[in-house]
Structure 1
């Protein structure tokens, strides 16, 4: 798969942490990952936002790995945050986890997720 970042100058240039669009050519497989939350393999969810975010990314990595993919294969992310004050922490973790990879991205603030202790949910689309 070959992918290209699309960031038209008419849209104020290149965003810092994502791409306005990703053009995928000759994709052989596409993986749609359901929203992942910060629950570990034992069913435990930390009360700490950053810990939940890191666990959600670990869950995504595990799913990608099962499909013989990596984080670099992600072409789109959708993030749901309950508290807008958590955005700086989310952005820090995303930058650390994605290591310069900038897929297309949507971030939405929501009033709640399914369980009250859940603070972040991330779903992705990956292609290779």
Structure 2
């Protein structure tokens, strides 16, 4: 698969570990991961934003592994935050997980389905 991160010089430059666009060619398959919520396999929701964000990324990672993929295959991330005050912590934890990978990204401040959940993350991966 050929993957290119695109950041047009005539538009705002990304800040914080993402690309304005990601182009993929010659891929075999796409995986669309539904919004992953901050709940473990025992239906326990951790307390606090940082713990919930780490749980969400563990859940994303579990879905990728189940599809024989890894975080290196992520090309798009959409994050729904219950409160904009979590923007910095969200970026730090997301960057811890993604490392140097810079997928296309959108962050939305939204009402989340369950009021106990502080975020939800969906991804698109390609191989």
Q: TM-score band (shorter)? A: over 0.9
Offset at residue 17 of structure 1 (A): 1.6
Work out the number of aligned pairs and report it: 127
Aligned residue in 2 for 1:35 = 35
Q: Is the 8 A contact 1:36 1:60 kept in 2?
A: yes
Q: Is the 8 A contact 1:32 1:125 kept in 2?
A: yes
Q: Is the 8 A contact 1:76 1:104 kept in 2?
A: yes
TM-score computed with the length of structure 2 as normaliser? 0.96
Aligned residue in 2 for 1:52 = 52
TM-score computed with the length of structure 1 as normaliser? 0.95
Mind listing any 5+ residue stretches in structure 2 that lack a counterpart? none
Q: Deviations over 1:8-65 (max 9, x none)?
A: 1001334432101100010101000000011001100012111111111000101101
Query: Which is further off, 99-108 or 15-24?
Result: 15-24
Aligned residue in 2 for 1:125 = 124
